[in-house]
A and B are shown apart, each in its own frame.
Chain A
Amino acid sequence: MTRKQKRLAIIGGGVGFLTMAILLVMFAFSQAIAYFYVPSDLAKADVPPGTRIRLGGLVEAGSVKRGDGKTVTFTVTDTLGQVPVTYTGILPDLFREGQGVVTEGTFVAGSSVFVADSVLAKHDETYMPKDVADRLKAQGVELSGKETVR
């Protein structure tokens, strides 16, 4: 191979790989990300069943019910809207009624119940998921207690 051909081979290979990577990233962005909603958004935004989303808000006081042991149902609210959620598994240590929570999962076709496969109520007792806090504040909900956003 001449010098020129070598250079072409290297640059061509590199550009080819990069193009592939960019296409892959774009494809992944269209498939593998989850949008964040609070309950009152869901009336406006039409989320088709089966689409993964994150649903955040406060766990409504008195709404937590345990089914046959591992399955839990509760209501997520942003005071303007409510969404019933079911979850099977162990709730995080910091999951409490009246506290902020982010759930991830899908709506099942023909039902208004959100089936969550992960529930996050993270790390710190004063921690309120940032997304939730921002949205609740934007809607004028008073965040009681200590500084809720850290």
Chain B
Amino acid sequence: MIIELGHYALVLALATAFVQAALPILGARLNDRALMELASSAAVACFLLVAFAFAVLTFAYVTSDFSVRNVWENSHSLKPLIYKISGVWGNHEGSMLLWLLILVFFSALVATFGRNLPETLKANVLAVQAWIAVAFTLFILLTSNPFARLIPAPGEGKDLNPILQDVGLAIHPPLLYLGYVGFSVCFSFAIAALIEGRIDAAWARWVRPWTLAAWTFLTAGISMGSYWAYYELGWGGWWFWDPVENASFMPWLAGTALLHSALVMEKREALKIWTVLLAIMTFSLSLLGTFLVRSGVLTSVHAFATDPTRGIFILAILVFFIGGAFSLFAFRASRLKAGGIFAPISREGALVFNNLILTTATATVLTGTLYPLVLEALTGDKISVGPPFFNMTFGLLMLPLLFAVPFGPLLAWKRGDLMGVAQRLFAAVAVGLVVGSGYYYAMNGGPILALFGIALGVYMIGGSLTDLALRSGLGKVAGNVAWRRFSGLPRSAFGTALAHIGLGVTLIGIVAVTAFETETVVEMKPGMTVDAGGYTLRFDGMRNGSGPNYSEESGHFTISSGGVVVTDIWSSKRLYQARRMPTTEAGIRTFGLSQLYVSLGDQISEGGIVVRIWWKPMILCIWGGTLFMMAGGFVSLSDRRLRVGAPTRAKRPKTIPVGAAE
């Protein structure tokens, strides 16, 4: 019964979304307040209905109600509770419902926090959000109903794909969707602006927090996914340039560009049309990602099941929204007043440079991702475009941008002094080269490019710190004055610095791992030792064990350094009973920022087993850097300039007398 209520709530949500899609836009045309205000209540109602449907599905999973086909296909009564809950979105139907839930969640947020938005803009934005909601609710109801019953109900479920039985699944998809789908708000704002034919700097100020929030979550989602793949798949890799990874990476790149171009629009009223286009492109890439991942054109762990009708349905959604948006853009863009032109050497010039490179890089990734599909459709040839392609193109194209990153914040608006900035960055360059060479010699040589790679990363960190130091007048004014200025800097300045520092940290991790990682594949018998990264691993033997829904064989390794035992590693192979599926649970130990990674292969002779051991120097920097980026996003989001509800509120008195609050 409760299951049918969930289904019914989803149908009601569809009806609500239809209302929200049609009436407010009419209200904005007719200047009818009541119709426009309907948008907010409809958005909140729609969110509550979808949230109820989602809760019902979760309930079915938690209680292992195998009369629901979706639960039977993807759950098992012995599964730990957390995986029962995360299993809700560990399958096609459930993950689409999560997608929809987050979409209407964002609509409800706009409805609630967008009180200061002009009435017509808000009505239009919410209407566009509702169009998307209608499309995806229809998709779920018509092709991917998670509430379908199975009669008679089987006694036991088929269990979730073991690779997905991990905390990673609990965190990665919701974060990723918050990012992916968050860009829908930017899209809706862009479409609303085109419908109204009017756009100004305030528009950029309204759009930026949404972009920033979506970008921050997407960063978190991608980073989390990368770490999950790293420790769960047992291949020791952290990024494979897999089409599915690219599907999330492209909106991230475009979103990063949007973040920067909105800045120019807000400050200088330039790049207006470009920013609108970028907002449309970013969400289009999110939709394309959804299509690539969900339609089954690609085979991967993400493609849960292939059903041609679904693929065609999503393709139709894709064509409708992307095609519609670009046609609208083509018709209406000329009505938006273009912004001014500006000097190439200036802050805005630097931001254009950023946009040029980021969009080109996005286009490159897009080409590499779609080329095999297109080629196969046209000629029937099957090819694979892998890491070599992306490293060669994306890597080279991004290089000038990485070098330019510290220049941006140091250049003045309108007219910048390139030589002056270069002089100020001299210290950062010097520190970078010193640290790079130091690390290079500490690692006893290696590819010379690694030296410059590390130096580039350190220089980016140093450059961002230089910006903060110069802004607070460090060295020019007394220490306490500098401190006061430093703490008075706008939050967005810290946000910028943190995000750029994060990029540098990630780069250092990537370079160090690529250049200096060691990999040893060896057959080991108990008592044998292997050296890796300055540590000695001794294989002690195998042990059998079991978990709630799997059995496992684990190898024990003692790790010592200079003859002293430091720690140990268990590395195992599991067999999940329900699906008879083996998985590798790599053993990982962290030493500072580096890691030892041990993965088991086949048992060959008695007691002997093939073992793959990696030493991954500085690998934690890769994900550590993204933490800095996220921190940058959140700090920037807390800047009062961007607080959606309070763009013009007067400043509060700076010092509140001590004790006044008591």
Task: Give me the interface of A with B, judged by CB distance under 8 Å.
Answer: 1, 3, 6-7, 9-10, 13-14, 17-18, 21, 24-25, 27-29, 31-36, 54, 66, 68-70, 88-91, 93-94, 104, 122-125, 127, 129-131, 149-150
Task: Give me the interface of B with A, judged by CB distance under 8 Å.
Answer: 161, 163, 234, 299-301, 303-306, 341-344, 349, 352, 356-357, 360, 363-364, 367-368, 371, 381-386, 388-389, 392-393, 396-397, 521-523, 573, 579-584, 599-602, 604, 608, 610, 612
Q: Which residues of chain A are near B599, meaning CB under 8 Å?
A: 90
A50→B292 CA distance, assembly (Å): 32
Q: Does B610 contact A28, Cβ atoms closer than 8 Å?
A: no
Q: Which residues of chain A are near B600, meaning CB under 8 Å?
A: 90
Q: Does B382 contact A88, Cβ atoms closer than 8 Å?
A: no
Q: Which residues of chain A are near B579, meaning CB under 8 Å?
A: 125
Q: Does A28 contact B303, Cβ atoms closer than 8 Å?
A: no
Q: Which residues of chain B are near A66, meaning CB under 8 Å?
A: 602, 604
10 additional A-B pairs beyond A32-B392, A33-B384, A124-B161, beta carbons within 8 Å, are A7-B341, A10-B344, A24-B364, A24-B393, A25-B364, A29-B371, A32-B388, A32-B389, A124-B301, A125-B580
Q: Does A69 contact B392, Cβ atoms closer than 8 Å?
A: no
Q: Does B301 contact A122, Cβ atoms closer than 8 Å?
A: yes
If A6-B342, A70-B610, A90-B612 touch, does A21 touch B397 (CB 8 Å cutoff)? yes
Q: Does A129 contact B299, Cβ atoms closer than 8 Å?
A: yes
Q: Does B582 contact A94, Cβ atoms closer than 8 Å?
A: yes
Q: Does B360 contact A18, Cβ atoms closer than 8 Å?
A: yes
Q: Which residues of chain B are near A1, meaning CB under 8 Å?
A: 343
Q: Does B388 contact A21, Cβ atoms closer than 8 Å?
A: no
Q: Does A24 contact B371, Cβ atoms closer than 8 Å?
A: no
If A34-B383, A34-B384, A91-B602 touch, does A150 touch B305 (CB 8 Å cutoff)? yes
Q: Which residues of chain B are near A7, meaning CB under 8 Å?
A: 341
Chain A nearest Cβ from B347, distance in angstroms:
14
Chain A nearest Cβ from B483, distance in angstroms:
40
Q: Does A69 contact B608, Cβ atoms closer than 8 Å?
A: yes
Chain A nearest Cβ from B419, distance in angstroms:
17
Q: Does A13 contact B344, Cβ atoms closer than 8 Å?
A: yes
Q: Does A17 contact B360, Cβ atoms closer than 8 Å?
A: yes
Q: Which residues of chain A are near B382, meaning CB under 8 Å?
A: 35-36, 54, 131
Chain A nearest Cβ from B581, distance in angstroms:
5
Using CB atoms, name the residue of chain A closest to B343: A6
Q: Which residues of chain B are near A27, meaning CB under 8 Å?
A: 392
Q: Which residues of chain A are near B581, meaning CB under 8 Å?
A: 93-94, 124-125
Using CB atoms, name the residue of chain A closest to B235: A92
Q: Which residues of chain A are near B608, meaning CB under 8 Å?
A: 69
Chain A nearest Cβ from B269, distance in angstroms:
16
Q: Does A88 contact B521, Cβ atoms closer than 8 Å?
A: yes
If A36-B383, A36-B384, A124-B581 touch, does A17 touch B305 (CB 8 Å cutoff)? no
A1→B573 CA distance, assembly (Å): 67
Q: Does A123 contact B161, Cβ atoms closer than 8 Å?
A: yes
Chain B nearest Cβ from A130, distance in angstroms:
4
A88→B519 CA distance, assembly (Å): 12
Q: Does B393 contact A3, Cβ atoms closer than 8 Å?
A: no
A-B contact pairs, 15 of them (CB 8 A): A6-B344, A14-B356, A17-B360, A21-B397, A24-B392, A27-B392, A36-B384, A54-B382, A66-B602, A66-B604, A69-B522, A70-B521, A90-B599, A150-B304, A150-B305
A70 is contacted by which of B161, B363, B381, B522 (Cβ under 8 Å)?
A: B522
Chain A nearest Cβ from B166, distance in angstroms:
14
Using CB atoms, name the residue of chain B closest to A131: B382
Q: Does A24 contact B306, Cβ atoms closer than 8 Å?
A: no
Q: Does B341 contact A69, Cβ atoms closer than 8 Å?
A: no
A69→B601 CA distance, assembly (Å): 10
A66→B608 CA distance, assembly (Å): 13
Q: Does A70 contact B344, Cβ atoms closer than 8 Å?
A: no
Chain B nearest Cβ from A143, distance in angstroms:
15
If A6-B343, A29-B371, A69-B608 touch, does A34 touch B397 (CB 8 Å cutoff)? no
Q: Does A69 contact B573, Cβ atoms closer than 8 Å?
A: no
Q: Does B523 contact A70, Cβ atoms closer than 8 Å?
A: yes
Q: Does A54 contact B384, Cβ atoms closer than 8 Å?
A: yes
A90→B603 CA distance, assembly (Å): 11
Q: Which residues of chain B are near A32, meaning CB under 8 Å?
A: 385-386, 388-389, 392
Q: Does A6 contact B341, Cβ atoms closer than 8 Å?
A: yes
Q: Which residues of chain B are near A35, meaning CB under 8 Å?
A: 381-383
A39→B581 CA distance, assembly (Å): 28
Chain B nearest Cβ from A62, distance in angstroms:
17
Chain B nearest Cβ from A133, distance in angstroms:
9
Q: Does A9 contact B344, Cβ atoms closer than 8 Å?
A: yes
Chain B nearest Cβ from A114, distance in angstroms:
15
Using CB atoms, name the residue of chain A closest to B349: A10
If A21-B364, A25-B364, A36-B382 touch, does A31 touch B341 (CB 8 Å cutoff)? no
- By Cβ-Cβ distance, the 7 closest A-B pairs, closest first, are A69-B523, A90-B601, A36-B382, A32-B388, A32-B389, A93-B582, A130-B299
A123→B232 CA distance, assembly (Å): 11
Q: Which residues of chain A are near B360, meaning CB under 8 Å?
A: 17-18, 21
Using CB atoms, name the residue of chain B closest to A96: B582
Q: Which residues of chain B are near A69, meaning CB under 8 Å?
A: 522-523, 604, 608, 610
Q: Does B299 contact A127, Cβ atoms closer than 8 Å?
A: yes
Q: Which residues of chain B are near A91, meaning CB under 8 Å?
A: 601-602
A142→B149 CA distance, assembly (Å): 32
Chain B nearest Cβ from A81, distance in angstroms:
16
Q: Which residues of chain B are near A13, meaning CB under 8 Å?
A: 344, 356
Q: Does A25 contact B367, Cβ atoms closer than 8 Å?
A: yes
Q: Which residues of chain B are near A33, meaning CB under 8 Å?
A: 371, 383-386, 389
Q: Which residues of chain A are near B385, meaning CB under 8 Å?
A: 29, 32-33
If A6-B344, A31-B388, A32-B389 touch, does A24 touch B381 (CB 8 Å cutoff)? no
Using CB atoms, name the residue of chain B closest to A138: B380
Q: Which residues of chain A are near B357, meaning CB under 8 Å?
A: 17
Q: Which residues of chain A are near B343, meaning CB under 8 Å?
A: 1, 6
Using CB atoms, name the residue of chain A closest to B344: A9
A13→B342 CA distance, assembly (Å): 14
A9→B357 CA distance, assembly (Å): 16
Q: Does A90 contact B610, Cβ atoms closer than 8 Å?
A: yes
A63→B2 CA distance, assembly (Å): 54
A9→B581 CA distance, assembly (Å): 60
Chain B nearest Cβ from A88, distance in angstroms:
7
A21→B365 CA distance, assembly (Å): 11
Chain B nearest Cβ from A87, distance in angstroms:
11
B386 is contacted by which of A18, A34, A124, A127 (Cβ under 8 Å)?
A: A34
If A9-B344, A25-B367 touch, does A123 touch B300 (CB 8 Å cutoff)? yes
A134→B300 CA distance, assembly (Å): 16
Chain B nearest Cβ from A109, distance in angstroms:
21
Q: Which residues of chain A are near B234, meaning CB under 8 Å?
A: 93
Q: Does B363 contact A21, Cβ atoms closer than 8 Å?
A: yes
Using CB atoms, name the residue of chain B closest to A127: B299
If A3-B341, A35-B381, A36-B382 touch, does A28 touch B393 (CB 8 Å cutoff)? yes
A10→B383 CA distance, assembly (Å): 37
A86→B379 CA distance, assembly (Å): 31
Using CB atoms, name the residue of chain B closest to A36: B382
Using CB atoms, name the residue of chain A closest to B302: A123
A33→B375 CA distance, assembly (Å): 12
